[in-house]
Structure 1
Amino acid sequence: MRYGPAVRRRKLGAELRRQRELTGMTSREAAGAVGWHQSKVSRIETGSSGAKPADVARLLDVYSVFDPELRALLRALCGADPAEPGRPRSGSRRWWHGYRELLPASYLDFISLEAEACRARTLETTVVPGLLQTPEYARAVTRAALGDPAPELVEQLVRVRMARQSVLRTARPLELCAILDEAVLRHEVGGPEIMAGQLRHLRDSTSLPHVRLHILPFTGGNHMGVTGPFVILSFPRIADLDVVVIDHLTSSLYLERQEDLWAYGSAFTKLRAHALSHENSLEFITEIIRHRDR
């Protein structure tokens, strides 16, 4: 049986393999220490079958990994409730399980990764990031994306998006750095009133110390951001768990290779240097709001 979404299984397996290699043990030796066949360790390390929380705990004991925060992160990657001490956020993060019949697997995968991440870097070229949307704006975006959906479906999806935003308001919140093309601020999503409310909310959201915003103005000319939006999720303690997420119309692409992570991380750094500073970006948004209110 497979436990947890595919991306999380691969990330978990890669880290368990790294921990094993740090001990100098072979996969056969590790399997013998816990009474398994070698193939089970191999399947877990490649992410082909995943692991139960109890399996992860047994392997970590064998590898003498007793750091509570690291153990809790790896347990969470296999779908366990974060019962061990040192968790960065509360156990309520598994709220999305109630939407398993509604949401596609790729979206559930993204939500689970976002809930475990400590930092998100996102580039958006057409819409406000989901973590910074108002309910009205999210409703308009959802209707536009789905064509002519049933009203009850729209409301469920908006509730999911609003619930995701809880990661910004926990004891140890997600650090969010968002780069927005100016087009995001100019598109009249949902009409003037909804867009005006969204712009004010976007400006006000930056009062959170862990939210940073950078605008790429039209006057800045061409930049590599024209290739499309993406999100880079980073995780506490383990840089190798980082993942790039690129949304398509019907699915999401997850990039995990180190060369991909380096390329997108470098692109984000260059875009941020090309964009307005956080303070100037807030002034930019405020000026758009003033102009609309005239």
Structure 2
Amino acid sequence: MKEQLSRNIGLYRREKGLTQEELAQSVGVTYQAVSKWENAQTMPELALLPDLSRTLGVSIDKLLGYVSQDKPMTIYEEEYQTDSYYWGTEPNEACYQVLQAMPPTKRLRLIDIGCGEGKDAVFFARNGYAVTAFDITDAGVEKTRRLAERVGVHVDVFKADILQYRFEEPYDIVFSSGVLHYMKPELREEIFANYKRYTAPNGLHVFNVFVNKPFIAPPPEKEPHAYKWHSGELLAHYRDWLIEDSAELVFDCHSSGVPHQHAMATVMARKVEGTALVGSNRH
């Protein structure tokens, strides 16, 4: 919780356009105290949390890293309430790329970012990976658990917000499909640095993102918290990694019952063994 709180204080302070000194004056502490909070050297006293919450414009729960329960963050919160699986239970094609590129001939830790109803996470668990997964929807987390139980595998699944959750332990494979458009553009550099830092040597990232194209009409789903990417933007995060595969494609979609198209960029990148951890002091 200490590291999560420190990150959130800095994140929401910057979003509000406040300096450390301005935040300090607002809650009645020194700017050195704010600096120590944001560097996880100390934690604010419990009595200061209400003032911090008001000044930063977020709830105390959100400040502490808990996902807000008062409003849905995705349109799929309601879709996942049904017994049927909105996306089906067949894995994404990218799952087979992972299986081929990094088969679980030894224990490999994989995390599925934004697992939805769990079809990909369960596929990986069935094939021998040690799988961790998270999603922002309660229904998605519960359906992931049920699907894993149905096929007799274990997935360590929990609820978290992609904007707030950060890795604190290393993974061999980091996977996400159809989710990274919920990542605000101003947070992408920091979040990707965290993902890369906590990737084991020779580890793999397999991601896709929706990209903005002027010749493709907006999708029928109205996503209030979605932010499209630009061509080449995802790939640029891996200029210091080995790019094993990268593509951009346009495909038809009927997920909403209304035929439409998406443009998507994909990347498979490997952290070449011996590369220093991002943000570490290794030379």
Same fold (TM over 0.5): no
Higher-Rg structure is 1
Judging by fraction of residues, say which structure has more strand: 2
Query: TM-score, normalising length from structure 1?
Result: 0.35
Higher relative contact order (CA 8 A, sep 6+): 1
